[in-house]
Structure 1
């Protein structure tokens, strides 16, 4: 493979003059041997573009790029195929007309590359069709079509439903060429972040094989634990493997869990634990949806979803869970069956995503007037075990939210808002939190673990004044018993919020052991 800067490759990364190969090329052989039309969804910066480029270079016959890799001795290098590579990853599509012009420009580049001329040069669908047919006739081998980030033009405008639908129709018309060109094609491979329904985007392309949740291709992008420890063994000296796993591993598509390659490569370069992947794209649009639909943030720790939620993103009816999963903020932790239906348990993939996402939730509030970040104060209160300081920090945070902000969002009628904010404060501070923590007698609203101490927290929302029931419920239910064997000290914390006063009206705590 060609030399690539560190941080963009899931197949090969280069640092200075040293090459690190995570050989995924056997997947290319498997794709070609077992089908013709494929679709793969993975989050951003997971190596989709490099995978597409790998397929491209193999079909172009560039054997020298595969020395030492699986394909070197498992590919017919004598047979070369023309490749049409459409990439929607660069830039932002403004509207449907902008998209049409972009597609035509990319098709014209291919015409120059292959020295091909077509009659119609102002209609993307006609140009695409003629280009495929011409390449097949000239090169005497069927054509490979690769589309990278097929959905990005839609996602760029997902918060404008009308514009997104117009862009979708342009793409639908463009992709319709593939079905009609079957006899001229060798392989079609499309990648993207989202899984829009076949009906809405790939109308008629029934043979498209979606390998997103195919266990045989679960590790086609990303690094497995074994690959990490084998390929990067010299880079791991002095690295806390458990901490590395805690920060960056955990993504699952019904196979072995994988690391985000972008995180791993930048960590090796900088030797510092930071949210590298998260910082490349803040999910502000998702946070807005949380407020719009009054979503209960702690649910993200243990979210149940069916195949319908995970498989199809609908522009006309956007589901938060769907976008969170497909964009990499949630991943599959487990599955179970009820009859013939498969259900999925989703949660954050790792510490990086969990902490950073909750910080983003808090930052969205701060846009409306908050001037301080209380996460460090929360952490310090737990670290020093000073619960009075914790009470003051929480009270101060809610007191600093302007009344006008509540009016605009009508959040005083949203019970889950208060618990969601407290959950985000603890989680965003980097503490080990467990929401809806299951016991044999019920669920703890929030458990916070620090060293050998546990903090059992119960939330209540009252109309006006304190009812004093939050702490007593913890004791009556015996929630703390779950941690009596594993923790040296257990603290019970009851918090009540007043809808009318929009703040804490009750904060009591008690040490059990």
Structure 2
């Protein structure tokens, strides 16, 4: 906060000096000079503002409440922290990743330390607002001082159950060390019972002096991190679950010594496996409670207030990137489309992903940031186990579910799709029907839609590679024997026909990715077999796919077009000379494919025609050309087709004209 204010003062002083200079010039009748100074002044102010934006780093990924408040970009969540501390119930909450759970934990921990950091919150609800006690009486927060045990389970090593146990005891040891009671506890090295270690820690924290209350605040962040990404049928998972089950059993036994036990995670799936110790959270899951619907994330008014000084910056950046004109209202519409529309209760406000909003206002680039923060393996593992469940039109689809469906916790395989997608953040509440208690779930925004599509595509491409492995003998034989109809039938039936809706949309690049993954599988672990390259550079462009069969001294150059023609594809290969660097090969094969994306066409999302051009070395080592061949799909097979010479010439002329224009430029 102080740093920001100082930069603002420097800017104001600079502007004042320049303004005085401008007035001085005007006094002596230097109109022309004054005009120039005025223009310079505007430019300097803009440069200073941009420099200030660069220096003013936003708290992206920072979960320390002190740092976030001092940055000036903290959305007040202190009423929730106060409510939890006053009510003193064991409380459980799930939220998607990167949504502010750890910052909330930091907020509670800092407030629980009492008067020490009270002034840090002087502009926030906990300092100025009022709460209700258990009798409904209006009270101010009392700033009692509690010992805090703060455990971040994402830092635990789960390689083995013994390592997990030792690591958990290390966290407890660090908590004891913070209050100077570590010497009164069992040595954490080599001691088997972390349960008794925890009990011993609680007893020592209860009798702390210096104004501490005899009640403990226990905060556990990412409780499911050690187990949720493991194979649930593995011994490692079962052993690690037992460690956590034992820990929560002792947590439950000491619950009466705690003012607050607060547990957060990304999913609720692991909670059911934690045995009776997790029963303390029954009836105290606030994940869908209306009163806690905005406990994490930004609301629209937060963005308008907190980021007021950055709108001009992002407007300039967006205009540079897109060439379009933006207003503040236009920016708000754009970030609402990309990062908003999360709802966590039947009547809750529409929330923005805080990490993505901060990233946008830092970079001024409207894109998906959430995908890069890492996905829970639980989702990816479910996709790999049964990818067909995810082959849906997610953008249009609505799921109608009850509250029990959303927070489904039974440990079974496969998991409920609705619960899985909601708890991992890919679905959110759209509407609620009180008549039947049903929620309608949907994808919240563009960023999430993009992240889901990328995840599904990656899994499908991995699967496509496996399909290629399965068919590799047939594909390689068809290539070597120049059995082009057979090769094309394999491309059509084994490759494109097996592709999901999400992985293959109305984009030429999708067709390329699918075929590349398939051929990658064909060449996988093939000793001396072809090497696959995608978008390999040549002198005048990049070929879609190149298969370099070193063993047989042959190269295959593949170009795909969408809703055009095989002639257009082959002409591009030839006129851009994609195979020029391979002139020493014994054989060069150009393969031009046309793919169809048209729901009215029988060939929708598949190839409909191909053209083959082959060059071979003769006895004098000169490359000679075979007559071109064309194949079209008709009556469930590829048959010889008629080459459209006019289209070939049209493409050739267009490429030559483009070269001429670039040369003149």
Same fold per superposition (TM over 0.5): yes
Structure of higher RCO (CA pairs closer than 8 Å, 6+ residues apart): 1
Q: Would you say 1:128 and 2:198 are equivalent positions? A: yes
Map 1:90-489 → 2, pairs under 5 A = 90=155, 93-116=158-181, 117-119=184-186, 121=188, 122=191, 123-138=193-208, 139-158=212-231, 161-196=234-269, 199-201=272-274, 203-208=276-281, 209-237=284-312, 238=315, 239=328, 240-254=331-345, 255-282=348-375, 286-287=379-380, 289-290=382-383, 292-293=385-386, 294-298=388-392, 300=394, 301-319=397-415, 320-337=417-434, 339=436, 342-367=437-462, 403=494, 418-422=500-504
The count of corresponding residues between Structure 1 and Structure 2 is 410
Identify the residue that residue 616 of structure 2 maps to in structure 1: none
Deviation at 1:330, TM superposition (A): 1.4
Q: Which protein is richer in helix relative to its size?
A: 2
- Asked if the contact 2:145/2:213 (under 8 Å) is kept, the reply is no
- Between the aligned partners of 1:397 and 1:234, the Cα distance in structure 2 is 58
- Between the aligned partners of 2:342 and 2:293, the Cα distance in structure 1 is 10
State the Cα deviation string for residues 213-238 of structure 1 (Å, max 9, x = none). Answer: 00110010000112111222222333
Identify the residue that residue 392 of structure 1 maps to in structure 2: none
- Asked if the contact 2:59/2:71 (under 8 Å) is kept, the reply is no
Identify the residue that residue 7 of structure 1 maps to in structure 2: 60
- Asked if the contact 2:199/2:250 (under 8 Å) is kept, the reply is yes
Deviation at 1:424, TM superposition (A): 8.7
Taking a change above 3 Å as real, the CA distance of residues 354 and 44 of structure 1, as seen in their structure-2 partners, is same
Question: What SS is found at the alignment partner of 1:93?
Answer: coil
Structure with max Cα Rg: 2
State the Cα deviation string for residues 149-195 of structure 1 (Å, max 9, x = none). Answer: 01101123146544323222211210112221133111111111011
Deviation at 1:134, TM superposition (A): 1.8
State the Cα deviation string for residues 225-253 of structure 1 (Å, max 9, x = none). Answer: 12111222222333521111000101110
- Asked if the contact 1:358/1:424 (under 8 Å) is kept, the reply is no
Deviation at 1:200, TM superposition (A): 2.5
Deviation at 1:63, TM superposition (A): 1.4
Identify the residue that residue 387 of structure 1 maps to in structure 2: none
Q: Which protein is richer in strand relative to its size?
A: 1
Deviation at 1:10, TM superposition (A): 8.1
Question: What SS is found at the alignment partner of 1:332?
Answer: strand
- Asked if the contact 1:164/1:315 (under 8 Å) is kept, the reply is no
Deviation at 1:40, TM superposition (A): 1.0
List gaps (5 residues or longer) in structure 1. Answer: 371-395, 430-490, 507-513
- Between the aligned partners of 1:114 and 1:360, the Cα distance in structure 2 is 45
- Between the aligned partners of 1:54 and 1:315, the Cα distance in structure 2 is 32
TM normalised by structure 2 equals: 0.55
Question: What SS is found at the alignment partner of 1:97?
Answer: helix
Q: Which moved more, 1:28-37 or 1:327-336?
A: 28-37
Identify the residue that residue 87 of structure 1 maps to in structure 2: 152
Deviation at 1:52, TM superposition (A): 0.3
- Asked if the contact 2:158/2:226 (under 8 Å) is kept, the reply is yes
Question: What SS is found at the alignment partner of 2:405?
Answer: helix
List gaps (5 residues or longer) in structure 2. Answer: 4-56, 130-139, 316-327, 466-486, 512-596, 610-631, 635-665
